[in-house]
Amino acid sequence: MTTLVSLPVLLPLLAAALSLVARRSPAAQRLLGVLVLTAIAAVAAVLLVHVDEQGPVVLQLGGHAPPFGITLIADRLSALLLLVSAVVTLAVLIFSIGQRIVDYGRGTTSTAFLPMYLVLCAGVSMAYLTGDLFNLFVAFEIMLSASYVLITRRSNAPRVRAGMTYVIVSLTSSLLFLTMVALVYAATGTVNMADLAVRVAELPEGVKTVLGLLVVVVFGIKAALVPLHFWLPDSYPTAPAPITAVFAGLLTKVGVYALIRTQALVFDHDASWTLLLVVAVLTMIVGVLGAIAQNDINRLMSFLLVSHIGYMLFGLALFTVIGLTGVILYVVHHIIVQAALFLVSGVVTRHTGTVSLRDMSGVAKAYPLVAVLFAVPALSLAGIPPFSGFVAKIALLRAGAEVATPTAYLVTAGAVLTSLLTLYAVAKIWVGSFWGRECPPHPDPDPTDEVTVGTGATSRPMLLATGGLVVAGVAVAVLAGPLSAISERAANDLLDGGAYREAVLGQGGDR
C-alpha cells in the first residue's frame, strides 16, 4: 500500500519521458496519456477507500528517518482531491485529443503538449501528497514550469504578453515561498509538516504570526485571493480552452489546498480568523462584480473563478469542523464545475468564432446539447438547489451562522449576495450566447493558428469529455451524503492533526 502513494507522482513523470521518446507517433502518445491518467484515477480511488478505513498511508522516500527525509502521505483530504483531479485531467485530456482530431490537417498536431501536460499532472499529485514544506515548493515548481510552457506554447503577441505576466507573478510568489521555507527552517530547524506542527506551536506569538501571514501571501498569489488576483483574468483566457479548463480547475485549487493544509496543520487557530474572513468577503464581491463587467466569455468566467475562491477561504477562516467540511465539499464541486464550464466555453467559442458575448447568439438553437451542458454546471456554480454547488454552499452558510460573530454574519451575507450575483453573471452568458436567433459564425482570422480557432467542428470526444465532467458534477450532488460524511471525517482529521502527526512521526521510520 505504501508504494501506491508514489505512483500518482512517478507514473505521469515516466509517461512524460516516454511520450517525448514516442513523439513521432501521436497515436501512441495519446494512448499513453489516457492510460496513465486512468491508472492514477484508479490508484486514487483505491487510496481513498483504504485511507478512509485505516488512516493515513505514509511513504518515507529513501528510507530516511521521519523528520529528515521527504515524506509522501495520503490522508482523506489528499486522496479525495487526488481522485477528483485525476478525473478532471482525464476529461480535459480527452477533450484536447478530440480537438486535435478535428484540427488535424491544420498543421497543429503538437508533440510538446502531452509530455508537458503529464508533468503538470505529476506536479499536482505531488503537491497533494507531500508532507514536507520544501517538497511542496518543488511540486509547485514542477506544476508551474509545465504550465508556463503550456500557456506560452505557439505564442503570438497577446499570448506572450499574457504569459509574461503569468510567469513573472508566479516566479515572484515562488521566490517568496522559498523565503518562507528559509524563515521556517531558521525558526524551527525542520521542514517536515508533521514535525512543524509541534515546533511552530512552541514559537513566540510574533514569529508565528509573521510566518502565518507570509504563508497566506505566498499561497494567496497562487490561489488568487483578491488583492493578489490581478494576474489571473489577464493570463488564463489567452490559453486554448482545454488548458484554461485545467488551469482554472486545478492550479488555483492546489494553492487553496496548500493554504488549508498549512493553516490547519501547522498554524493551528483556536477561533475564526478575522483577517482571512475579510479577505474572503472581498474576494467574493470583487470577483463577481468584475465578472459582471466583462463582455469576453472567458474573462467573465475567470473573474467568477476568483470570486468563488472566496467561498473556500470563508470556510477555512472559520476553523470549525463544519466550516472545513464545507470547504472540502466546495473544492471538490468547484474543480469539476469550473473545468466543465471552460470546456463548454471552448465548444461555444469554436462554434461562434468569437469570445465576445455581444457578437454571438443562438447557440441553443444550433446546439441544444451544448446548452444543456452549460446550464447544469452554471446553475450548480450559482448554487441552485438540486445541483452540487447547493450542497457545498449550504454547509458553508450553516458554518457561518454557527460561528455567529458579527464578522461571520457579514461574510455569510456576502456569500449569499455573491451567489445571487453569480446567477446574474451566468445568466448574462446564457442571454448573450445561447438565446436569440442563430447567427452565422464569424470568419476565422488565421486558419493556421490553434488558439484563435475561429470556427471548427466539435468532435465526439470533445462532447463526451464535457458531458462526462457535467455528469461527474451531478454525481457530486447525488452522492452528497457519503461525500459529506467523508469530508467531515477529513475536516476532523485536519483540525485534530493527531492522526497525521502520528502517521508521519510515530511508526513510519522503519519502512
Cβ-based nearer residue to other proteins, 228 or 494: 228
CB of 309 to other proteins, least distance (A): 18
Q: How far is the CB of 468 from other proteins (least distance, A)?
A: 25
DSSP string, 322-379: HHHHHHHHHHHHHHHHHHHHHHHHHHHHHHHS--BGGG---HHHH-HHHHHHHHHHHH
Distance in angstroms (rounded) separating the CA atoms of residues 71 and 316: 25
Of the pair 97, 239, the CB lying nearest other proteins is at: 239
All three cell numbers of 8: 500518482
| DSSP run (H or E) holding 72 | strand 71-74
Question: Rounded to an integer, what distance in angstroms lies between the CA atom of residue 103 and that of residue 418?
Answer: 39
The rounded distance, in Å, linking the Cα atoms of 347 and 369 is 11
Work out how close the CB of 408 gets to other proteins at its nearest, in angstroms, rounded to a whole number.
31
Shortest distance, CB of residue 234 to other proteins, whole angstroms? 5
- State in angstroms the smallest separation of the CB of 359 from other proteins: 8
φ/ψ (deg, to 5) at 57: -105, 130
Measured from the CB of residue 412, what is the shortest distance to other proteins in angstroms?
29
Listing DSSP states for 28-71 in one string gives HHHHHHHHHHHHHHHHHHHHHHHHHHH--EEEEGGG--TTTS-E
CB of 242 to other proteins, least distance (A): 14
Q: Site residues (CB under 8 A) for other proteins? A: 68, 134, 137-138, 141, 145, 148-149, 152, 155-165, 167-168, 171-172, 174-175, 178-179, 181-183, 185-186, 191, 230, 234, 237-238, 295-296, 298-299, 349, 353-356, 358-359, 445, 451-454
Q: Is the Cβ of residue 349 or residue 487 nearer to other proteins in the bound state?
A: 349
Smaller CB separation from other proteins, 2 or 179: 179
Q: Which is nearer to other proteins, 349 or 412 (CB)?
A: 349
Helices marked H in 241-296: 241-246, 252-261, 274-292
DSSP label of 503: I
Is the CB of residue 268 less than 8 Å from the CB of residue 324?
A: no
Q: Which is nearer to other proteins, 57 or 218 (CB)?
A: 218
Q: How far is CA 98 from the centre of its chain?
A: 22
Shortest spacing between CB 443 and other proteins, in angstroms: 12
Q: Which is nearer to other proteins, 440 or 481 (CB)?
A: 440
CB of 445 to other proteins, least distance (A): 8
Cβ proximity to other proteins, 19 vs 173, nearer residue: 173
Q: Under 8 Å CB-to-CB from 510, ≥6 apart: which residues?
A: none
Based on CB atoms, which residue is closest to other proteins, 149 or 213? 149
* Burial (Cβ within 10 Å: 0-12, 13-18, ≥19) of residue 70: middle
Alpha-carbon gap, residue 332 to 476, rounded angstroms:
8
Contact 392, 479 (CB under 8 A): no
Shortest spacing between CB 251 and other proteins, in angstroms: 16
Distance (Å) of CA 438 to CA 72, 154, 298, 348, 365 = 53, 32, 21, 13, 7
Comparing CA positions, the residue from 160, 149, 70 lying closest to residue 116 is 149
Enter the DSSP assignment of 440: P
- Give Cβ neighbours of residue 90 (< 8 Å, ≥ 6 apart): 34, 37, 38, 41
Cβ 479 to other proteins, closest distance in Å?
36
- Burial of residue 507 (CB within 10 Å: 0-12, 13-18, 19+) is exposed
Rounded Cα gap, residues 401 and 403, in angstroms: 6
Q: Return the number of the residue (127 or 399) whose C-beta is nearest other proteins.
A: 127
Min. distance of Cβ 384 from other proteins in angstroms? 29
Shortest Å, Cβ 181 to other proteins: 7
271 secondary structure, DSSP code: S
Closer to other proteins by CB, 100 or 159: give it. 159
Between 181 and 394, name the residue whose CB sits nearer to other proteins.
Answer: 181
Nearest residue (CB) to other proteins, 134 versus 435: 134
Task: Report, in angstroms and rounded to the nearest whole number, the Rg of the chain calculated over CA atoms.
Answer: 22
